[in-house]
Amino acid sequence: MKMTELKAGDKAEIISIKACGEIGSRLIDMGLVKGTRFKLIRKAPLGDPIEIMLRGFLLSLRLSEAKNISVVKIGHVGDGKPMRGGGFKRRGR
Amino acid sequence: MTKNKNIKEFKEISVALAGNPNSGKTSLFNGLIGRHLKVGNWAGVTIEKYEGFIEYEGYKIKIVDLPGTYSLTAYSPEEVITRNYIIEEKPDVIVNVLDGTNLERNLYLTTQLMELEVNSVIALNMYDEVKEQKIEIDFKQLEKLLGSHIIPTNSIKKEGFKSLLNHIVRVHTGILTVAKNKLSFSEEVEKNIERLTDIIKGDQTLSDKYHPRWLAIKLLENDQLTYSAAKERAIWLNIEKELLEIIPKYEDMFDSSPAMTIAEDRHSFIRGAIKETVEYPKEIKKTLTDYIDSVLINRVLGLPIFLALMWLIFQFTFKLGEAPMGWIETFFGFLEKTAADIIAPGLLQSVIVDGIIAGVGGVLVFLPSILLLFLALAFMEGTGYMARAAFVVDKILHKVGLHGKSFIPMITGFGCSVPAFMSCRTLKSKADRITTMMIIPFMSCGAKLPVYILLIGAFFPVAYAGNILFAVYLFGIIVAILSAKLLKTSLFKGESEPFVMELPPYRMPTLKAVLIQMWIKAYMYIKKAGTIVLLASVIIWAAGNFPVSREINKTYAEKTHAVQCNQMFDKVQKEKQSVKLGRFDGHNPRHDTLQSLENMRLSKQLEYSYAGRMGKFIEPVIRPIGFDWRIGISLVAGLAAKEVVVATMGTIYSLGGEADEGSSDLAAALRNDKKYDMATALSLMIFVLLYVPCLAATIVFHKEAGAWKWTGIYIAYSMIIAWVLSFAVYRISKLFLI
C-alpha cells in the first residue's frame, strides 16, 4: 500500500521509494529508506501534509511526496510493537 | 592524517561547525565566540554567514558556522555552501555538532563527513537532555566506530566547551589523531567505487582537489555538481564510459540505483552503530512535545490557533510599535527643527532638513515594528512553532503555488514590505522565495493607509467608509493570490520546494539567542537606512526641488514683500488688513496671508521641478485611468514613500506640505475639484495599492532577490497590474456611479 493510505496511529515499514531528483534525495536524507519503520502521527487540519515519526524524530511531508513511498502496515499505536531497530547490517570499522 | 609540525608555527586555527538544523549548533557557536560575532552573507546567496574567533591557549581559533544541513547533496544552497567550504577552504578542523537526543538522524551527516576524510571532532550537544531522557551512550565504542573524538557539550550551560577547544587544538597540532574511518558499502557498490577511484587517480589535478573516493561515491550518487566538475577534465571520457556501464547494469541486477543503495548502507551503518552503543529507556513516555502538539496542531484547533497567533503577532508588532514610532517621529521632527534653526535657509538647509533627515527618518520610523516583528519571528523559530505553522497552512498556500512558510512574509507585508522581503529568507527554494516576494507589495502596507483614509473621507459617505477600506485590502489579497498562481504557472513552472520538513521538539529558546537573531536582522535594516536610503532620499528631494525657477521665486518674493509692506502699513493705519490685501493680490482675501503665499510658491515650484515635469509627462499614460498631472506628481513622489502621496497633494493644493489624511481642507479641496469623482478615488486607491512600493522596499527587494532580472520583472509587473486594474475599476465604476 501507499503511505498516503495509512491512517493516524498506524505503524508501518517502508518497502520501496519511487522518487527521483530533489524529492527523492530529501526523503532519503531524512532517513526514509527501505526497512525504515515509522508511525503516522496525524494529518494536518486540512488533510495535507501528514506528520510521521521515525528514528525518534517528527517529520512532515506532503501527500504528493508520500505517494511515492510504498509501505506495509505493521500495527497500530499502543500495540507495543517496537519502532526502533528493524533489520540492520553493520559494516565499516 | 597527522600534522607533525611545531606547535609554535600555528597561531591560527580555522574551524567550521557543521550539523543538522535544530542541533543547537548556533547556540554552541554563540557560546564559543562570545562577543566576537561577525555576520555577513555567503557569496551570491541570501544565507547569512556567521564568523567569529576565540583565543585559547595562545591560539586564535577562527570559527565559521556553516548553514544547518541534513545532508551534503547538491540540492539546496545550504548544502552546497557547506561542502564547498569544506572542500575548497579546507578548514583545519571540522566540528560536527550532533543533537544527542536524536543521534540516528544526526549521524547521517556524520557519515558523509567521514567520506570527505577531514579532521573532525564531534560535539555531542544537548547532553543535559540526553541525561534527562536517560539515554546511555557508550562513548568509547561510538568513537571507535566513527573514528572521531566525541565530546559531550551543553551550549546553554557552556559545559564541555573547554574540552572541545582542547580537542580542536590537539587534533590540529597532531597530538591527537583522527582515525578517519572509511564507511564501506555493499559489495557491488564498493567494487564500482574502486573502479571509478582508479580512473580518477589518473588525473592528478582532480584528485588533488577532491578526494578520489569521495568523488567516486558522489558520481555514483548522480551528484550534479560533481558531474560538472568532472566534465571539465579530459578524464571525463573514461569516467563517463564507466558510469554508463555501471549504472544500468546495477539497476538491472538489484532493481535499485547505486545512489539508493549508498544511502541505505549509510543508514544501516548508523542503525548498527546505534544498536551497539546507545541504550534508550525501555518505556517510551509521552514527551512534552507530544502534549503541546496534540493541542497546537490538532485537526480542529490547529487552524484557529494559528490564526489567533498570527493576529497576536500582528498586534504585538504594529500596535506595540506605535508608541516608539511616535517617539522616533518626534525625535526626527525635533532634529528637523533644530537643523532648520542652526542652518541658514537655503539649499543646504533644504537638502538636510527635507532630504536627508526626512528621508532617513521615514525609514527609521519603522524600526520599532521591525524589531518587534523579528523578535516574534525569532521566538517562533526558536520554540519550533514556525515549522508547525507551515504544516497547518501548507495546503492552502500550496494550492496557489506557494509554500507553507510563505505565510509569515505575507502577514508581515500588511505592516511593511521591507521586513516582509527580509523574512522571505526562510524559504529555501528560489521559485517559492521570488514568487512570495513578488506578491508581498499587494498586501497593503501601513503607509498606504493614509491615502485610503483621505480619499474615502473625501468622496464616500461615512456609512460605507469601513466597507470600502476592507474591500481595498481584500482586493489586494485577491490580486496577490492570482499573481502567485500566475507566476507559478509561467515563470516558475513546476519548481517547488519539497515539503519534507522536520518538526523539531519544542524548546524554550534562550533570551540571548532570540535577541541576537533580532539584532542581526535589525542591524541590516539600519545599515540600509544609513546608506542606500540616504542616497535615494537626496535624489528624490532633488527631483522635487530642482530646477529652481527664478521667475516663480521672484514673483512670490515681490508679492510677499508687498504683503509685508501692507501689513506694516496696516498696522500703522490700524485698518482692516483683508480688504486691502485682497485688492492687491486679486485672490480670495481670506487666504491671503504670508503662509498661503509661501504655500502657493511651493506649489508652483513643485510643478516646475523635475518631479512636476514627470507628473505632466506621464499624464497621457494616466489619463485613461482618471488621473491628471497633479495626481501624477503625487504618484511620482510616492515612490519615495507612500505617505508622501498625501503630503504632495497638500503641496499642490497650496495647503502646505504638512497636510495629512485627517486634513479636512485637503479632503474638501479634492471634493470640490470638478475633475475628481468617486471613480477617480477608487481608481487612485487601487493604483496606490498595487503600484511599485516605496524606494526603500524596492532596494531591499533587489538585495534579497539578487538579480536585476527579478527587480525588473517586479517593477514592470506591479506597474502593469496597477494600471490595468485601475483602468478596469475606473471604467466600470464610471458606468455605475454616475
Whether B426 has a pLDDT exceeding 90, the answer reads no
Q: Which of residues 91-110 of B touch A (CB under 8 A)?
A: 101-102, 104-105, 108
- As for how many domains chain B has, the answer is 4
Determine contact: B599 vs chain A, CB below 8 A: no
Q: What interhelical angle do B212-220 and B187-201 show, nearest 10?
A: 120
What is the structure's pLDDT at A82?
67
Strand partners, B152: B124
Question: Would you say residue B728 lies in a domain?
Answer: no
pLDDT, tens digit (0-9, with 9 covering 90-100), for B371-418 = 887 888 888 888 989 889 999 999 989 888 888 888 878 887 887 788
Please indicate, yes or no, if residue A41 is contained in any of the structural domains: yes
Name the grid cell of B408: 509569515
C-alpha torsion B43→B48→B51→B52, nearest 10: 150
In a domain, A91, yes or no: no
Q: CA B201, CA B235: separation in Å to the nearest integer?
A: 10
Taking an 8 Å cut-off on Cβ atoms, the answer to whether B498 and A26 are in contact is: yes
Q: Is the same domain home to B411 and B457?
A: yes
| Cα four-point dihedral sign B597, B602, B603, B605 | positive
What is the number of other CB atoms lying within 10 angstroms of the CB of residue B311? 11
Q: What is the pLDDT of residue B326?
A: 85
Chain B: residue whose CA lies nearest to A29: B71
- Tell me what pLDDT residue B546 has: 77
Residue B10's pLDDT band (cuts 50, 70, 90): low
CA dist B613 → B43, B59, B634 (Å)? 41, 64, 12
Same domain, B500 and B584: no
| Backbone phi and psi for residue B443, each to the nearest 5 degrees, phi listed first | -80, 110
Q: Do the domain assignments include residue A8?
A: yes
Nearest by CB: B503 against A45, A60, A88: A60
CATH number at residue A23: 2.30.30.90
d(CA B733, CA A49): 43
Mean pLDDT of the residues in chain B: 84
Q: Which of A22, A65, A90 sits opposite B269 (nearest CB)?
A: A90
- C-alpha cell of residue B526: 539600519
Residues of chain A positioned with their CB less than 8 A from the CB of B260 = 17, 28, 33-34
Interchain contact, A25 vs B71, CB within 8 Å: yes
Which A positions 24-53 lie with beta carbon below 8 A of chain B? 25-31, 33-36, 41-49, 51
What pLDDT was estimated at residue B197?
A: 93
φ and ψ at residue B477, rounded to 5 degrees: -65, -45
Give yes or no for residue B605 having a pLDDT over 90: no
In this structure, the answer to whether residues B272 and B333 fall within a common structural domain is no
Q: Closest Cα partner for B363 from B443, B414, B418, B315?
A: B418
What is the distance between the alpha carbons of residues B494 and B499, in angstroms, rounded to a whole number? 14
Q: How many cross-chain Cβ pairs, A to B, lie less than 8 Å apart?
A: 143
- Region of B588 on the Ramachandran plot (φ > 0 left; ψ -120 to 50 alpha; else beta): beta
Rounded to whole angstroms, the Cα distance separating B628 from B691 reads: 17
Substitution target in B221, B225, B391 with the highest count of A β-carbons within 10 Å is B391
Long-range contacts of B33-41 (CB under 8 A, 24+ apart): B33/B63, B37/B516, B39/B520, B39/B523
Same domain, yes or no: B474 and B429: yes
Say if B666 falls within a structural domain: no
Residues contacting residue B304 through CB under 8 Å, at least 6 positions apart: none
Q: Which chain B residues are Cβ-neighbours of A79 within 8 angstroms?
A: none
Structural domain span for residue B604: 548-608
Provide the 8-state DSSP code for B184: P
Lowest mean pLDDT among B85-99, B628-642, B658-672, B678-692: B658-672
CATH number at residue B84: 3.40.50.300
The order of strands in the sheet holding A57-61 is A69-76, A10-17, A37-43, A50-54, A57-61, B501-502
Nearest to B684 by CA among B650, B651, B654, B642: B642
B window 479-518, beta carbon within 8 A of A: 498-505
Same-domain pairing of B238 and B309:
no
Q: Determine, yes or no, domain membership for B708.
A: no
Residue of B240 and A81 predicted with greater confidence: B240
Q: What is the pLDDT of residue A87?
A: 44
Most confidently predicted of B200-204, B335-339, B493-497, B722-726: B722-726
Q: What is the pLDDT of residue B62?
A: 94
Residue A35 lies in a domain: yes
Same-domain status, B104 and B54: yes
Residue B351 neighbours by CB distance under 10 Å: 17
Dihedral sign computed on CA atoms, order A54, A56, A61, A65: negative
Tell me which chain A residues have a C-beta less than 8 angstroms from the C-beta of B265: 91
Q: Please indicate, yes or no, if residue B71 is contained in any of the structural domains.
A: yes
**If you search the block for the grid coordinates 539600519, which residue do you land on?**
B526
Task: Verify whether the Cβ–Cβ distance B268 to A61 is below 8 Å.
Answer: no
Name beta bridge partners: B96. B18, B122
CA distance A32 to B496: 20
User: Same domain, yes or no, for B158 and B249?
Assistant: no
Considering only residues B316 and A54, tell me which one the structure prediction assigns the higher pLDDT: A54
Q: What was the pLDDT predicted at B229?
A: 87
Asked whether the predicted pLDDT for residue B588 surpasses 60, the reply is no
Any B CB within 8 A of A78 CB: no
A63 to chain B: nearest residue by CA? B499
Task: Between B702 and B531, name the one with better pLDDT.
Answer: B702
Q: Closest Cα partner for B184 from B169, B176, B194? A: B194
B370, B508: one domain: yes
Amino acid at B37: L
B628 assigned to some structural domain: no
- Do B36 and B124 lie in one domain? The reply is yes
Q: What does the pLDDT average to over B222-251? A: 89
User: What percent of chain B has pLDDT above 70?
Assistant: 91
Cβ partners under 8 Å of residue B613, min gap 6: none
Looking at per-residue pLDDT, the higher value among B538 and A43 belongs to A43
Please report whether residue A83 resides in a domain.
no
Tell me, what CATH number does B211's domain have?
Answer: 1.10.287.1770
CA dist B577 and B191 (Å) reads: 105
pLDDT, residue B254, reads 85
Distance of alpha carbon B693 from alpha carbon B638, whole angstroms? 8
Q: What is the pLDDT of residues A83-93, one digit of tens each?
A: 665 444 444 33
In a domain, A92, yes or no: no
Q: Of the given ranges (B97-101, B119-123, B600-604, B720-724), which has the lowest mean pLDDT?
A: B600-604
The DSSP 8-state label assigned to residue B154 in this structure reads B
Residue B70 near residue B20, CB atoms below 8 Å: yes
Inter-chain contact B299–A43, Cβ cutoff 8 Å? Answer: yes
Confidence of residue B538 (pLDDT cuts 50, 70, 90): confident
Question: For B243-253, b where at least 16 C-beta lie within 10 A, e where not — what string?
Answer: beebbeebeee
Helix axes B708-737, B695-705, angle to 10 degrees: 140
pLDDT tens digits, one per residue of B623-675 = 899 898 888 888 888 887 787 787 777 777 766 555 566 566 778 888 888 78
**In terms of C-beta density within 10 A (0-12 exposed, 13-18 middle, 19 or more buried), how is residue B181 classed?**
middle
Say whether A23 and B498 touch across the interface (CB within 8 A): yes
Q: Are residues B255 and B306 in the same domain?
A: no
Greater model confidence, B89 or B543? B89
Distance, CA of B389 to CA of B405 (rounded, Å): 8
Banded pLDDT at B139 (limits 50, 70, 90):
very high
Cell numbers linked to B438: 513578488
- Cβ contact A36–B104 (<8 Å): no
Q: How many residues does chain A have?
A: 93
Alpha-carbon gap, residue B426 to B408, rounded angstroms: 9
> Which CA distances in Å does B479 have to A56, B403, B494, B680?
43, 17, 21, 20
Looking at CA atoms only, how far is residue A54 from chain B in angstroms?
9
B718 is a domain residue: no
Do residue B220 and residue B107 come from a single domain? no
In a domain, B474, yes or no: yes
Residue A87 included in any domain: no
Same domain? For B272 and B355 the reply is no
Residue A86 lies in a domain: no
Please list, in sequence order, all residues whose beta carbon lies within 8 angstroms of the beta carbon of residue A35, skipping any fewer than 6 positions away.
Answer: A13, A14, A86, A87, B264
Residues B10 and B571: their CA atoms lie apart, in Å, by 87
Q: Closest Cα to residue B362, out of B272, B291, B262, B447?
A: B447
The mean pLDDT value for B138-155 works out to 93
The number of folded domains in chain A is 1
* Rounded mean pLDDT, B451-466: 86
